[in-house]
Amino acid sequence: MIRIAICDDEKDAVIQHEGIVKSTLKSCGIGYEIVTYTQSSNLLFDITDDHFFFDLILLDIEMPGITGMELSEKIKLYLPNVKIIFITSHIEYAIDAFELSIFRYVPKSNLTDRLVAAITDAAKLIELEAGKEYIIQAAGRMEKIPYKDIFYIQRDGGKNSMLVSGMGISKVRKSLQQIFEELDTPEFIFIDRGYIVNIIQIMKISDGMAYLKNGEKLPISRSHLQEVKKQINRFWGARI
């Protein structure tokens, strides 16, 4: 189930966008819950004061009061992982949208085709990120770490490993190979004998380094570099 918010100051536009979202997700076989808004301040209130959670938000940029651009900055403070799709007739906003890490920019001049594609891609990524949990059990403790939150796993000497995630650092008395086999999912790849990285967390590959969303960069061994690039291309090519 994907929770979606649609915000546009024009009611007809909200109805149109909602119709596209519904037909797109139905064709993908994905469940959804949609909340619509015609005032950006109401959406912001629901997120900041009533703690509404959304996976995906469709925003018009040109709205009175709080613009879509201003709204997205405030929303990201509360929902850092939310996917935001900007809908606008002003192409000059595209650069700003990129700087705000907006998922997709959809021009009104080619609304239907571009919005269908954007919604489909966002929904697939949201479902992918929802994923499974890696469970750590040791000495009377149990941790559940969502796959999507794991940045990388590092060898920590001998047969010990260290998981680095949005929840912090978790140490495991298992080898990297053993953890890799337990994860058993294509988004985790070896980039070096000492590192397994979550493809979802990779921002870019440059100069033999993997740059991650948490700001860290990890070395990719020369023997793994070409294969890492191929695996990343295969992974995203099969999903988006």
For the chain, domain boundaries: 2-130, 133-237
Task: Identify the pLDDT of residue 74.
Answer: 92
Per the CB < 8 A criterion, the answer to whether 85 and 106 are in contact is: yes
| Overall CATH class of domain 2-130 | alpha beta
Task: Identify the pLDDT of residue 97.
Answer: 45
Nearest in space to 66 (alpha carbons), one of 44, 84, 82: 44
* 201 burial level (CB within 10 Å; 0-12, 13-18, 19+): buried
Nearest in space to 202 (alpha carbons), one of 150, 134, 238: 150
Q: What is the overall mean pLDDT for the chain?
A: 89
pTM of the complete model beyond 0.85 = no
* Dist CA 233 CA 227 (whole Å): 10
Q: What percent of the chain shows pLDDT beyond 70? A: 93
Task: Identify the pLDDT of residue 99.
Answer: 47
239 band by pLDDT with thresholds 50, 70 and 90: low
CATH number of 133-237: 2.40.50.1020
Q: Mean of the pLDDT values across residues 208-214?
A: 93
